[in-house]
Amino acid sequence: MQEYYEKLCKKFPEITFNTGSSLMSGNENKVVINLSSECLKKMANDPEFAKKVEFNLTGAVPGQNRMFAQAKADNAVIHGVTTVIDADGNASVTCGGMTRTSGSKQNSTTLNAEKKQKERL
């Protein structure tokens, strides 16, 4: 499994993989993937499963870049991103707090509600 992990890190040098028990967050300059140890084990032993997960990993950096760019365009700053890939290879992404460039902290639900309200006007 260690050999496959090293291969994965070389294949995706722009991603930091965390296989530990605690979660790590990324930011605008750092993409972090919290990879389940069970997922890593499956990837090491099943080339087809690995191919599926690796295909999804190819979108991690561009996706995170788009997310931060969109936030910036909306005059917001994202303070952290946590990406988790579970044992079945499913990814979930959670954004940390957001701050308007005016300085008021708001979560993404509040920001989306404000945006929709402005669109209605």
Tokens matching residue 88: 């079945």
d(CA 113, CA 101): 17
pLDDT averaged over 10-residue windows placed end to end, the chain, 121 residues: 96 97 92 97 98 97 94 92 96 88 57 53 46
Tell me the pairing of strands 15-18 and 81-85. Answer: unpaired
Angle formed by the axes of helices 37-45 and 2-11, nearest 10°: 90
What does the pLDDT read at residue 121? 46
Whole-structure pTM value: 0.78
d(CA 81, CA 44): 26
* Residues 6 or more apart in contact with residue 110 via CB below 8 angstroms: none
